[in-house]
Amino acid sequence: EVQLLESGGGLVQPGGSLRLSCAASGFTFSDYAMNWVRQAPGKGPEWVADLKSRDGSTHYADSVKGRFTISRDNSKNTLYLQMNNLRAEDTAIYYCARDGPSRPWDYWGQGTLVTVSS
């Protein structure tokens, strides 16, 4: 059974940093592209970043470019999101999601809440 389990969320002050983790199981992690998607309270989802499996290329939403870094450790079956210089508008539930075979985001984790506030 495919499982994605996020962790690392919490309360952080503006300008602070946080690293999120997503532990994957039930599939060959290294074979799949992975994403981070966030959802602010009462809003729709917003794609944040992805990391391809074939060439390791990364892409970011303009809203986080230069501040967030997506990475993975295939030996640990874990996806990461390093978030620096956090802003109030980064407050959201952060989900990791797997790109399935010929389809986007076929599995999602349960999410981890990040709150940026003084």
Partner 1 sequence: DIQMTQSPSTLSASVGDRVTITCRASQNINTWLAWHQQKPGKAPKLLIYKASNLETGVPSRFSGSGSGTEFTLTINSLQTDDFATYYCQQYNSYSWTFGQGTKVEIK
Which residues does residue 18 pair with via DSSP β-bridges, in sequence order? 83
User: Is 95 among the residues that bind partner 1 (CB under 8 A)?
Assistant: yes
Is residue 53 classed as helix, strand or coil in its secondary structure?
A: coil
CB of 101 to partner 1, least distance (A): 10
CB of 33 to partner 1, least distance (A): 11
Residue among 60 and 77 whose Cβ is closer to partner 1: 60
Pairing mode, strands 78-83 and 68-73: antiparallel
Q: Segment 36-65, which members bind partner 1 (CB under 8 A)?
A: 44-47, 50, 59, 61-62
| Residue 63 DSSP symbol | T
| Residue 97 DSSP symbol | E
Pairing mode, strands 78-83 and 18-25: antiparallel
User: Is 104 among the residues that bind partner 1 (CB under 8 A)?
Assistant: yes
Residue among 77 and 107 whose Cβ is closer to partner 1: 107
